């Protein structure tokens, strides 16, 4: 089996995956959300310290499987440098100690393989990647080459939810909290936020203007109530999803995808999922979504991506592995 480690941001996670059957033998994630919640976002130094504490505990839980491990995989790019270092150091040590090869995995490629956790990977396909760090539309060809068709020029989709949650004092991470509030809105027409870059020919995302429009609306309200919050969250979520869909519709008209996948922590957003479902139905495209449990960062997807590299004998010497906080995405 492959032992995989994910520690690119604020989750320490470890998975054991059987190489031949794709059976998940062990998976655990120690989230740092409650610790970062106090600060309204991820504090890198705190994240690093918590990974250093959590990772050895996770390794300790799988000691009984050490003899069955054929390779150690780890996220080495992109992410917070101090967080990546924790996982990579642990993976190097395990690879040396267990005398098995080391497999570096790109975190975003890991998210792509969350679509194929228990099945054979199949390309070509289009992918929408929406997380706390990224918003991208990708085209992946049959040889797994990746072309980025659109990305964001400022905040990411998930990050904009986190920032709106912070402005409303709702805690971190904000995605699911804002989405929950949105479902409770009783006055859906009260706020109208501008859909970013509407009518603009550029295939590009931008969420900072929308975030500022939300900030101005909040500033105008004295003693904000739960129902004000719900109405704001509804209008914000709608504008953010419409922005994603506006550009995506144009891409679909041009690309004629037969298969389209949505991945990343923010792909758990149900409003977005249902809009994507409609778009794919209209274009006769098959929509693939990761199981809700494995949309956000996890080591299962890293193990699954590493398994492809294992089968190709694509390893790296532990003296040569590098972390790469801002990597380029070119191959799945
Ligand atoms: O992929 P992920 O776990 O971490 C990164 O690689 O960034 O994504 C986390 C992001 C956070 O910004 C979180 O607020 C967002 O995903 N998120 C959501 C939802 N659930 C999580 N955003 C919108 N709606 C949701 N339901
Ligand atoms: Zn992620």
Ligand with the closest atom to the CA of 132: 1
H or E, element range at 260: strand 259-263
Task: Report the pLDDT value the prediction gives residue 38, as an integer from 0 to 100.
Answer: 86
Residue 83 confidence class, pLDDT cut points 50, 70, 90: very high
Residues with CB under 5 A from ligand 2 (ion): 131, 297
Residue 40 confidence class, pLDDT cut points 50, 70, 90: confident
Domains of the chain (ranges, CATH numbers): 2-115+296-312 (3.30.420.40), 125-289 (3.30.420.40)
**297 annotated among ligand-binding-site residues:** yes
**Average pLDDT of the chain, as a whole number:** 97
- Per the CB < 8 A criterion, the answer to whether 117 and 87 are in contact is no
Smallest CA-to-CA distance from 61 within 101, 95, 12 is with 12
Calculate mean pLDDT across residues 14-32.
Answer: 98
Task: Report the pLDDT value the prediction gives residue 126, as an integer from 0 to 100.
Answer: 98
Per the DSSP assignment, residues forming a β-bridge with 139 are: 126, 147
Task: Report the pLDDT value the prediction gives residue 172, as an integer from 0 to 100.
Answer: 87
Query: CA geometry: angle at 9 spanning 215 and 6, to 5°?
Result: 150
- Per the CB < 8 A criterion, the answer to whether 210 and 240 are in contact is yes
Token representation of residue 313: 């004998």
Q: pLDDT > 90: what percent of the chain?
A: 97
Crossing angle between the packed helical segments 226-255 and 270-282, to the nearest 10 degrees: 30
Angstrom distance (rounded) from CA 16 to CA 315: 18
| 133 DSSP 8-state letter | S
Task: Report the pLDDT value the prediction gives residue 244, as an integer from 0 to 100.
Answer: 98
Residue carrying the six token digits 């970013």 = 196
Per the DSSP assignment, residues forming a β-bridge with 112 are: none
In the chain the beta strands, taken as DSSP E runs, fall at 2-6, 11-17, 24-31, 71-77, 102-106, 125-130, 135-140, 146-151, 259-263, 286-289
Calculate mean pLDDT across residues 192-216.
Answer: 97
Parallel/antiparallel/unpaired status of strands 11-17 and 2-6: antiparallel
Angstrom distance (rounded) from CA 85 to CA 145: 27
Angstrom distance (rounded) from CA 168 to CA 25: 40
Residue carrying the six token digits 């986190």 = 162
Report pLDDT digits (tens) over 236-293: 999 999 999 999 999 999 999 999 999 999 999 999 999 999 999 999 999 999 999 9
Ligand 1 site residues (CB inside 6 A) read 9, 131-133, 158-159, 161-162, 173-176, 179, 264-266, 268-269, 296-297
Angstrom distance (rounded) from CA 57 to CA 53: 7
Residue carrying the six token digits 């089996």 = 1
Ligand 1 center from residue 131 Cα (angstroms): 5
Q: Is the pLDDT of residue 113 over 90?
A: yes
Angstrom distance (rounded) from CA 266 to CA 281: 21
**111 annotated among ligand-binding-site residues:** yes
Contacts of 51 (CB under 8 A, 6+ apart): 7, 12, 83, 86, 87
Ligand 1 center from residue 112 Cα (angstroms): 15
Contacts of 62 (CB under 8 A, 6+ apart): 3, 14, 16, 26
Q: DSSP string of 155-186?
A: S-HHHHHHHHHHHTT--SS-HHHHHHHHHT-S
Burial class (CB in 10 A: 0-12, 13-18, 19+), 242: middle
Q: For residue 264, which atom of ligand 1 is closest to its CA?
A: 1
Q: Is the pLDDT of residue 39 over 90?
A: no
């Amino acid at each position: 089996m492959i032992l995989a480690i994910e520690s690119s941001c604020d989750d320490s996670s470890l998975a054991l995956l059987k190489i031949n059957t794709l059976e998940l033998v062990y998976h655990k994630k120690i989230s740092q959300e409650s610790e970062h919640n106090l600060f309204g976002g991820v504090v890198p130094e705190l994240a690093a310290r918590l990974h250093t504490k959590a990772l050895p505990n996770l390794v300790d839980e799988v000691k009984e499987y050490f003899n069955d491990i054929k390779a150690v995989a780890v996220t080495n790019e992109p992410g917070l440098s101090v967080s990546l270092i924790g996982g990579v150091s642990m993976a190097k040590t395990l690879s040396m100690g267990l005398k098995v090869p080391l497999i570096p995995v790109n975190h975003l490629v890991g998210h792509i393989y969350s679509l194929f956790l228990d099945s054979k990977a199949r390309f070509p396909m289009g992918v929408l990647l929406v997380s706390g760090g990224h918003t991208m539309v990708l085209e992946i060809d049959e040889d797994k080459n990746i072309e980025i068709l659109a990305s964001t020029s400022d905040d990411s989709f998930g990050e904009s939810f986190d920032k709106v949650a912070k402005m409303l004092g709702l805690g971190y991470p904000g995605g699911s909290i804002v989405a929950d509030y949105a479902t409770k809105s009783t006055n859906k027409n009260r706020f109208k936020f501008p859909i970013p870059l509407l009518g603009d020919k550029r295939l590009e995302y931008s969420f900072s203007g929308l975030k500022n429009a939300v900030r101005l609306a909040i500033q105008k309200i004295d003693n904000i109530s739960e129902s004000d919050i719900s109405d704001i969250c509804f209008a914000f979520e709608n504008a953010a999803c419409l922005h994603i869909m506006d550009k995506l519709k144009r891409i679909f008209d041009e690309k004629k995808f037969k298969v389209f996948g949505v991945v990343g922590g923010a792909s758990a957003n149900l409003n977005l999922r249902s809009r994507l479902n409609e778009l794919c139905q209209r274009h006769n495209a098959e929509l693939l979504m990761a199981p809700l449990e494995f949309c956000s960062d996890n080591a299962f997807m890293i193990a699954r991506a590493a398994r492809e590299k294992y089968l190709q004998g694509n390893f790296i010497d532990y003296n040569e592995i590098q972390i790469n906080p801002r990597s380029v995405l070119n191959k799945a």
